[in-house]
């Protein structure tokens, strides 16, 4: 079983995910290390998707009782709660999310240590004094005041005071940090880093959530999202063995062949 670096050429979120998933299912491949996915296919900051691919994946995840792409994406950015067309939309989102956080936290045991969006908007190391830090608001404010230093435009999710534990398996956090960078005169890019990422259960939702977070930040920073990069130090298929996903893999391969033939 081998590991190899992988850089899919597709720049569409859905096809980049599909091609990477299929590569992981090739004989002899157990891990891609690193895997770097770059998405540049956007329509006014919204990631362009092939909804046939997303539906195929969601159907398979439902069959195996896994979370949908939408559910996974919402842990990074709660897209349904944001209205970009209202005044003070960022403040409204942050306030609303903080109000309902207790319900979100107790709805799912996986949120016991927080989730990605909450750590981005209310970061507070265990035992620290003072108020939680809204890292996203800080990035917005410092950028609009003219500070475009790259290291000023990053936000941490990993917290050593809570996450440096001896557990052999730690479900959260997988996403460690995000960074934003201006592109040209009016573009913005977002990069997310994972030391380990699961391709089947998580990656599509991860890509979608990062794109939505990037769009939100671009809107606040008076720019347009033009690139999402997801770096996985190691990318594996996930908890499902290849044999359990063989039918899905075949349907996805067939769809990719048919879609290519139509172009």
Output the tens digit of pLDDT for each of the chain's 263 residues.
Answer: 567 899 999 999 999 999 999 999 999 999 999 999 999 999 999 999 999 999 999 999 999 999 999 999 999 999 999 999 999 999 999 999 999 999 988 887 776 777 999 999 999 887 778 889 999 999 999 999 999 999 999 999 998 888 887 777 767 789 999 999 999 999 999 999 999 999 999 999 999 999 999 999 999 999 999 999 999 999 999 999 999 999 999 999 999 999 988 87
From the number of C-beta atoms within 10 Å of its C-beta (0-12, 13-18, 19+), residue 258 rates as: exposed
Q: Supply φ then ψ for residue 260, to 5 degrees.
A: -65, -35
Radius of gyration of the chain, Cα coordinates, nearest whole angstrom: 19
To which H or E segment does residue 197 belong?
Answer: strand 197-198
Could you give the C-alpha distances from 180 to 11, 28, 67, 156, 238, in angstroms and in order?
Answer: 19, 36, 27, 12, 28
Cα–Cα dist 183/237, whole Å: 32
- The residue extents of the domains of the chain are 2-262
Which distant-in-sequence residues (6+ apart) come within 8 Å of 204 by Cβ? 13, 14, 17, 54, 57, 69, 72
Percent of the chain, pLDDT > 70?
A: 98
Cα–Cα dist 85/81, whole Å: 12
Cα–Cα dist 134/29, whole Å: 40
Output the CATH code of domain 2-262. 3.30.572
Helix axes 204-220, 89-107, angle to 10 degrees: 150
What's the pTM?
Answer: 0.95
Q: Are strands 154-156 and 29-39 parallel, antiparallel or unpaired?
A: unpaired
Cα–Cα dist 39/45, whole Å: 11
Whether 94 and 121 have beta carbons less than 8 Å apart is answered as yes
**Tokens representing 249?**
């893999």
């Amino acid at each position: 079983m081998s590991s190899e670096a992988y850089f899919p050429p597709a720049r569409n979120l859905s096809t980049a995910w599909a091609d990477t998933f299929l590569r992981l299912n090739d004989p002899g491949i157990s891990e891609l290390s690193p895997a770097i996915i770059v998405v540049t296919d956007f329509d006014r900051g919204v990631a362009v998707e092939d909804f046939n691919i997303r539906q195929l994946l969601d159907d398979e995840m439902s069959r195996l009782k896994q979370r949908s792409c939408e559910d996974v994406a919402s842990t990074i950015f709660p897209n349904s709660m944001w209205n970009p067309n209202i005044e003070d939309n960022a403040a409204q989102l942050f306030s609303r999310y903080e109000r309902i956080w207790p319900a979100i936290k107790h709805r799912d045991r996986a949120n016991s240590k927080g989730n990605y969006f909450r750590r981005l908007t209310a970061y507070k190391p265990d035992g620290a004094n003072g108020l939680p830090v809204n890292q996203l608001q800080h990035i917005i404010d410092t950028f609009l005041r003219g500070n475009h230093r790259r290291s000023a435009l990053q936000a941490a999710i990993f917290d050593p005071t809570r996450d440096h534990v001896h557990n052999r398996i730690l479900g959260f956090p997988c996403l460690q940090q995000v960074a934003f960078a201006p592109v040209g005169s009016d573009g913005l890019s977002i990069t997310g880093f994972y030391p380990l990422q699961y391709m089947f259960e998580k990656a599509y939702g991860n890509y979608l959530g990062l794109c939505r977070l990037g769009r939100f930040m671009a809107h606040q920073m008076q720019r347009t999202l033009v690139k999402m990069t997801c770096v996985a130090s190691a990318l594996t298929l996930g908890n499902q063995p290849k044999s359990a996903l063989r039918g899905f893999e075949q349907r996805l391969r067939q769809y990719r062949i048919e879609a290519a033939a139509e172009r």
